A and B are shown apart, each in its own frame.
Chain A
Amino acid sequence: MQVNAEVSGERIGIFGNSGSGKSTLVHCISGLLQPDRGEIFLDEECLFSTQKGINISPENRRIAIVFQHPMLFPHLSVKTNLLYGYKRCRAEKRRFRPETLIDLLQLQPLLKRGVENLSGGEKQRVSLGRAILASPRLLLMDEPLSALDDTLRFQIIPYLMSVSEEFLIPYMFISHSLLEMQLMTERVLVLNNGRLVEETTPEGLARNSMAKSQKGYLNLLRLTSPVDQNGLFSYTWGDNTLLVSDGQLSGSTLFELSSREIILFKKHPEAISARNLLQGNVMEMFNSDGRVGIVLSVHGEKLVAEIVQSAADELNITLGATIFAAVKASSFRRLV
């Protein structure tokens, strides 16, 4: 594997398919694997250099890892697991109080339990808390959600987000999921066959991968305070009203809407079964391996639809043109 990159930011993503070298990179950065040659710097401190003969041991790098599987120590209780790194961190370097983190991750009722009987989501929360309490300079999250089913995954994501917001620990989030990249990162390094092939934004990655990805481009919509309308949830989205079948009455909810679930019309259709018909202007168009992404401005909100080139030609879509987008109420998938 060969990677040459200099990246700055608080929330860095490493994206790639299985075998692309993501985990190898994590191991090299954390010091668990020694590269054949090269240099690794963190905050201008040299962690590894074959030229200078430097190789700081993993325990002295202060880079914590949240693994794909929680990797909790089976002979220790939840509390002892949580405090494992905390106790090994010098007092002056400790940045967080265990009580604060335990509250945030809602671990209080689990503290005295053994780790074997925890659910998958609970285990991953303990694993996350354990890594944070070690007060790392950098947190490496190596596909922390891959081993969880969808329900658990979206239970954990708010914790990951709140931890990063609350404790301000820069992290590298490793995943092969476009959605996770969109939710968790601000810069993305794309790896393929052990090489860095692209450095981009999550938006750029989502657009580039639109044609190849199973779900196309994912529009993420955070919607709040719905009202019931004939068994559907009616949300306000900018100046629009959206009808959603899988909503929830309380709080704010994050939905994903695939670019492939949106049907475009040049003129207002007379009647349509889809419950959402939105009028928008074409802001931008982009190409992704033969598919055309249409970025619509819908009363102040942005929506990306995906069509094939021949459809774009037939609709004669141009920048600024007015377009109608139809979306079924069941096309919105509730995430968090």
Chain B
Amino acid sequence: MPLTQEDITAIWLSLKIAFTATALSLPFGFAMACLIVFKTFRGKIVLEVLINLPLTLPPVVIGYFLLLLLGKNSWLGQLLNASGFPVIFTWKAAVIASATVGFPLLVRSIRLGMEAIDLQLIEASRSLGASWSDSLFTIILPLSLRGIIAGSSLMFARSLGEFGATIIVAGNIPGVTQTIPLAIYDYASSPSSGTMALSLCVVSVVISVAVLLLHELLGKQFDRRGLQ
């Protein structure tokens, strides 16, 4: 199955975007999950709805909103352009699109992991002299690792497949913003490029299987160590 230089760039770009989006979202996802699980405050439901909204909205709609937010006619877009950090139609826009779409999956998984922690463990740590932040890093974080890994894998996999929002804010520029799904879309639009599309589909499957396998292996590792 032949892969062109552009295909290889698309694969590399997909991995780079998915990794960056996941890595950048992780601290925020952890903080949001923590806020939702352990804190009581007004407007909590609104926050939960906002976090989960990208799950229910069509990705194209998300892409369009991001375009309105970051485009050259918005104040934020103008500010970014003026500071020499243009986002729209660059790989950074694809990262933002992937992060927005995958964020609810990340938060949901971390949240599930945190909800499984017995609150008395945190109370025990506080009564033993740990401040809230100390408990966060020594008890909550290690005991949420399973959820963090699950969420990261899901988000990474979701980012690899992101299409709708990405094509709106980052376009489909070969070598610049063209990821695997966008390249497959290009090949599929041309009647003579079926084999090329299939090659990228196989690559996509291989990466996804590798991510899921890694997730399972890490999960088993934690089980074996008796972490949860």
- Chain A residues, CB < 8 A from B121: 71, 73-74
Most buried by A among B121, B142, B228: B121
Check A89 against B125 for contact (C-beta < 8 Å). no
- Least CB separation from A33: chain B residue: B123
Residue in A71, A89, A116 whose CB lies within 8 Å of B129: A89
Check B227 against A75 for contact (C-beta < 8 Å). yes
Q: Is A102 an interface residue (CB 8 A)?
A: no
Indicate whether A88 sits within 8 Å of B118 (C-beta atoms), given known contacts A73-B139, A116-B226: no
Residue in B118, B127, B143 whose CB lies within 8 Å of A65: B127
- Least CB separation from A69: chain B residue: B120
- Chain A residues, CB < 8 A from B228: 74-75
CA distance A32 to B139 in the complex (A): 16
Indicate whether A74 sits within 8 Å of B128 (C-beta atoms), given known contacts A32-B123, A65-B123, A69-B120: no
Residue in A27, A62, A75, A85 whose CB lies within 8 Å of B143: A75
Most buried by B among A27, A74, A84, A140: A74
- Least CB separation from B121: chain A residue: A71
- Chain A residues, CB < 8 A from B143: 74-75
Residue in B118, B123, B128, B139 whose CB lies within 8 Å of A85: B128
Q: Is A185 an interface residue (CB 8 A)?
A: no
In A55-90, the 8 Å CB interface with B consists of 57-59, 62-65, 67, 69, 71, 73-75, 84-85, 88-89
* A: contact size bracket: 20 to 34
- Chain B residues, CB < 8 A from A130: 128
- Least CB separation from B117: chain A residue: A74
Q: Is A296 an interface residue (CB 8 A)?
A: no
In A237-262, the 8 Å CB interface with B consists of none
Q: Is B126 an interface residue (CB 8 A)?
A: yes
Check A58 against B120 for contact (C-beta < 8 Å). no
- Chain A residues, CB < 8 A from B139: 73
Interface size counted on chain B using CB atoms at 8 A: 21
Q: Is A194 an interface residue (CB 8 A)?
A: no
- Chain A residues, CB < 8 A from B201: none
B133 to chain A, nearest CB (A): 10
- Least CB separation from A90: chain B residue: B129
Residue in B124, B134, B142 whose CB lies within 8 Å of A67: B124
Q: Is A12 an interface residue (CB 8 A)?
A: no
Interface 1/0 per residue, B116-160 and A, CB below 8 Å: 001011011111111100100011001100000000000000000
Residue in B126, B138, B227 whose CB lies within 8 Å of A59: B126
Residue in B123, B125, B131 whose CB lies within 8 Å of A73: B125
Q: Is A120 an interface residue (CB 8 A)?
A: no
- Chain A residues, CB < 8 A from B142: 75
CA distance A89 to B142 in the complex (A): 22
Check B227 against A134 for contact (C-beta < 8 Å). no
- Least CB separation from B124: chain A residue: A71
Indicate whether A62 sits within 8 Å of B129 (C-beta atoms), given known contacts A74-B227, A75-B227, A114-B226: yes
Check A57 against B226 for contact (C-beta < 8 Å). no
A58 to chain B, nearest CB (A): 4
CA distance A267 to B92 in the complex (A): 100
Residue in A64, A69, A114 whose CB lies within 8 Å of B128: A64
- Chain B residues, CB < 8 A from A65: 123-124, 127
Q: Is A182 an interface residue (CB 8 A)?
A: no
CA distance A88 to B131 in the complex (A): 9
In B72-105, the 8 Å CB interface with A consists of none
A136 to chain B, nearest CB (A): 8
Residue in B120, B130, B138 whose CB lies within 8 Å of A71: B120
CA distance A89 to B225 in the complex (A): 28
- Chain B residues, CB < 8 A from A323: none
Check A30 against B227 for contact (C-beta < 8 Å). no
Check A30 against B134 for contact (C-beta < 8 Å). no
Check A30 against B120 for contact (C-beta < 8 Å). no
- Chain A residues, CB < 8 A from B138: 84
CA distance A140 to B143 in the complex (A): 25
In A1-48, the 8 Å CB interface with B consists of 27, 30-32
Q: Is A327 an interface residue (CB 8 A)?
A: no
Indicate whether A64 sits within 8 Å of B125 (C-beta atoms), given known contacts A71-B120, A74-B227, A75-B143: no
Write 13 A-B pairs (CB below 8 A) sorted by A numbering: A32-B126, A57-B126, A59-B126, A59-B127, A59-B128, A59-B129, A71-B124, A74-B143, A75-B226, A75-B227, A84-B130, A131-B127, A140-B127
Ranked nearest first, the 4 interchain pairs of A and B with the lowest CB-CB distance are A85-B128, A88-B129, A58-B126, A116-B226
Given A62-B129, A63-B127, 15 other A-B residues pairs in contact with their CB atoms under 8 A:
A30-B127, A57-B131, A59-B127, A59-B130, A65-B124, A74-B121, A74-B226, A75-B225, A75-B226, A75-B227, A84-B125, A88-B129, A88-B134, A89-B129, A114-B225
